[in-house]
Structure 1
Amino acid sequence: MLFARTRRPVSTFRHSLTRPAVAIGVGLGLVLSTGAGAVAATAADSFATPLRAITNDAKATLVDAEATLDEAAEVSADAASPDLDLKATDTTIDTAGLRSEIAVLSDLELLPTFVLTDVADATAEEAAAVEAQTARLQDAVDDAQAAKQAAAEKAAKKAAEKKRVAEAKKKAAAKAAKEAAALANVNTVAGAQATAARMAADTYGWGSGEFSCLVSLWSKESGWNYQAYNAGSGATGIPQALPGSKMASAGSDWQTNAATQIKWGLDYISRAYGSPCSAWGHSQSVNWY
């Protein structure tokens, strides 16, 4: 990520600095006559500090410029990543001018002090131009990285949803298989009788004696076959409901589920006769219940 750097302002003394003849004479190491010692000492004291400031500011400008080059190189490397789609963005950062100025400014110890300001200013201007290009390219890199992240998140979300749907289907299939197996079991004679015994005890409190009567009653009526059908009367299913559609009150699957037929049949016996043995006694006496 590119962070804007605060560029060191050009020192105010760069453009306001004057070079009086006496100061230049001192700077060049000339010896003045007529009180030369006093004049040289005064000039050196007044001019030494600005000269050091110019040199220090030039050094700081050089450090900033080199940092700008490093930053440009980092952003260019990011932009060159094959994983990023920068579309039609120009990824070029022209650093030739800055490198040239840095090469000159790097020899600041050998440069005359009075030209350092101009060289430093030229270097700063080139650095500003490179920074602008770097910022533009960094924005493009940031946009491309954001787009890449968004695409990755979208793909991950899609994969997670696909996995969730697959797991849901798997669970539904397992549940359906379990229910199919249970239905197949309850639709057998043994399964139907086991289901009836459990319902009779849990719902009505009927024990083994009553269940024995129930076995006899429905063995006579249907042989505990959930598909039993009396063509003469239209009686249907294990309890031989007449008509069979009555059993819909116990469940919509009354035609295919022995448990639903048993549920309806036990309720009918309870309401009509009070218990399976009473219903069995009635059936024995009149041949129906």
Structure 2
Amino acid sequence: MSRIAARGFAVASATAVTTVGAVMGVAQAGVGQPSNDAEATAGDSTLLADLPVGQQAQVQTASLTQQATTQGIAADATAKKTAEEAARKQAAKDAVARQRAAVAKAKADKEAKEAKEREEAETKSTTASGTGSFPQQASYTVAEVQAIARQIVPAGQFQCFSNIVNHESTWNYQAVNPTSGAYGLVQAYPGSKMSSAGADWRTNPATQIKWGLNYMNERYGSPCDAWSYWQANGSY
């Protein structure tokens, strides 16, 4: 390396000043300590060229190593900052996603609750409507009894209700079980329990239907739940 190149390298590589000073302290015994940093830099720049080639290489290597270390530290700091920023952004996205999911679930739960309440209100309203809208007759055909039931039982539950009544009494509102004495469309036992729905429970199928629907709702949840139980047990 030429003297001019060595001086240029020493000036450009500020990180090597200390190392050069240490080397020159050994190589130039008896030379006085520079009075300030500017003098040290100038002196080191001049004396570096006077070092043997091997020592110049050592100084240059130390400088490059220090520069690489500094750059590595800076790169690590940048990478850490980038990772932290990415983690922060992801956490924010996750929080927004969780919030949206919670809102959607709350909305779905509310809608399901409202739908259930509407269905229950409809069932209660139908059950509580009484028999006043069904004029009393001396007798009823199966078709007439079924028509009354369609007006009292919710449409979505009618088939299940019909399945039970068909098995229990074949839609005969005056059916009596000769063994137990169970009575009517839904074979209430004892039949007098149906008086809670009306005093005319013996002769009015509307009263029996009203009582039977209320019984299925209260004990099983709905006529379809009662039918599921009936299928599993042969009775309800």
Q: Structure 2-normalised TM-score?
A: 0.41
Q: Structure 1-normalised TM-score?
A: 0.34
